[in-house]
Amino acid sequence: MITGNVTKNQSPEKKSFKKPSRWQTLLSEAVRDPLELLQLLNLQPENAMPADFNPEHFPLRVPRGFIAKMQKNNWQDPLLRQVLPLDAEQRISPGFQLDPVNDLHATQGKGMLQKYHGRALIITTGACAIHCRYCFRQHFPYHSNSANPAEWQALVSKLDANPSISEVILSGGDPLTLSDARLAALCQQITDIPHIHTLRIHSRLPLVLPERIDASFLHWFSALDIHKVVVIHANHAQEFCSKTSQVLNKLRQNGALLLNQSVLLKGINDSVTSLVELSQTLHANQVLPYYLHMLDQVQGAAHYAVTEQHALQLMQEIRNQLPGYLVPRLVREVSGKRSKSPII
């Protein structure tokens, strides 16, 4: 472990007076108005304007750079379909719940979840750069369950006191929406705990706001003396661009093992072609497919559900077309289980 504190003299208070970074400006300019999104894509709202277009509890949010990866004039675009609120969200579907993976029962004090042996997951923030309509945490009560930076100290003490934990997973929300000052301080504190040997970051930002991985981030990230794993979340090959490839390359050069998790989503990636293409694109970026998740049964997302039978057929087909290392593990989260549950 390194002893030097990479964030010395960079308290969050001091940072907040600084000019925002470019990525922070881009984040603040994300599109929140569905009409603007449709206009940017040459789509006529009257052709498919849902009645209740922008639900208050989980408003539309999508960075402009991600919109630039969408096809114009195409309602079925696989990226657009991930972010556009639809009427179908208002349907109450039997079996679809507010907290489908039982996160509230796994909280270990504010901001921390421990479901699996050796790994603790920290909900660093409720904020995301993009709002994915299928998200299983869309109803999660972040206000009462994510720790704010002032409370991180208590979390770090908890990790320090629990030698059975060897890996810390930063999740959210999206941990990379936090400022460098905050994130670097937290990561350094975790790195300094002797029994923690792996720091894992789950983030969608390399795809939806690659500018986040800037020189300032790489400066402190590369200095962390711990095994680093970055799990990105791409559902479709079209989410990649040259900027994304560049930052993935940088993350890898700075010591991160790169993995991808996806959610199997109806009308977005539930075809052999799109799954094969995704794996090949990941390979081209030296990212290994990790999990392909069955949709968590969260209220408002039933229209994205793929049946288990169809999922298994897809897996069989992609296994026939890809080398084993490019085949993701199809899993489902079953509450109460001690790991994600493989579907075979």
Residues forming the site for ligand SF4 (CB under 6 A):
128, 130-132, 135, 137, 172-174, 204, 233
* Nearest distance in Å: CB 336, ligand PLP: 12
Closest contact distance (angstroms) between CB of 115 and ligand PLP is 4
Q: Closest CB to ligand PLP among 60 and 113?
A: 113
Note if the bond before 173 is cis, omega within 30 degrees: yes
Pick the closer one to ligand SF4 by CB: 75 or 142.
142
Q: Is 19 exposed, middle or buried (CB count within 10 Å of its CB: 0-12, 13-18, 19+)?
A: exposed
Could you tell me the two tokens for 321? 């077309």
> Closest approach of Cβ 131 to ligand SF4, in Å?
5
Residue 130 interacting partner from ligand PLP, ligand SF4, none (CB closer than 5 to 8 Å by kind): ligand SF4
Nearer to ligand SF4, 115 or 233 (CB): 233
The least CB distance from residue 335 to ligand PLP, in Å, is: 10
Name the site residues for ligand PLP (rule: CB under 6 A). 106, 113, 115-116, 119, 121, 169, 339-340
Quick one: CA dihedral 112, 339, 89, 233, positive or negative? positive
Binding-site partner at residue 204 among ligand PLP, ligand SF4, none, CB < 5 to 8 Å by type: ligand SF4
* Cα dist from 163 to 3, 84, 152, 155, whole Å: 20, 44, 18, 14
Nearer to ligand PLP (CB atom), residue 110 or residue 119? 119
Q: Which does 62 bind (CB under 5 to 8 A by kind): ligand SF4, ligand PLP, none?
A: none
Q: CB of 302: closest distance to ligand SF4 in angstroms?
A: 16
Residue with tokens 């400022």: 179
Partner from ligand PLP, ligand SF4, none binding residue 77, C-beta < 5-8 Å depending on class: none
C-beta closer to ligand PLP: residue 84 or 159: 159
Q: What's the CA gap between 271 and 120, in Å, rounded?
A: 34
Hey, what are 335's tokens? 């509450």
Asked if 199 contacts 231 with a C-beta cutoff of 8 angstroms, the reply is no
Among residues 128 and 229, whose Cβ is nearest to ligand SF4?
Answer: 128
Measured CA to CA, the distance from residue 247 to residue 71 in angstroms comes to: 23
| First-last CA distance in the chain | 40
Q: How far is the CB of 62 from ligand SF4 (least distance, A)?
A: 10
Rounded Cα–Cα distance for residues 112 and 124 (Å): 9
Helical segments of 141-241, H only? 142-145, 149-160, 180-191, 205-208, 215-223
Check if the beta carbon of residue 264 is closer than 8 Å to that of residue 39.
no
CB 50 within 8 A of CB 20: no
User: What gap in Å lies between CA 170 and CA 176, rounded to an integer?
Assistant: 9
Q: To the nearest whole angstrom, how small is the minimum distance from the Cβ of residue 202 to ligand PLP? A: 9
By the 8 A CB rule, do 184 and 220 touch? Answer: yes
Which residues does 123 contact at the CB level (< 8 Å), separation at least 6?
111, 112, 113, 142, 145, 146, 147, 171, 172, 173
- By a kind-dependent CB cut-off of 5 to 8 A, residue 119 interacts, out of ligand SF4, ligand PLP, none, with ligand PLP
Considering the complex, state which of residue 166 and residue 245 has its C-beta at the smaller distance from ligand PLP.
166
Residue 131 touches which member of ligand PLP, ligand SF4, none, C-beta under 5-8 Å by kind: ligand SF4
For residue 121, the partner it binds in ligand SF4, ligand PLP, none, with Cβ less than 5 to 8 A by kind, is ligand PLP
Shortest Cβ 137–ligand PLP spacing (Å): 10
Considering the complex, state which of residue 53 and residue 160 has its C-beta at the smaller distance from ligand SF4.
53
- Per partner kind, with CB cut-offs from 5 to 8 A, the member of ligand SF4, ligand PLP, none near residue 340 is ligand PLP
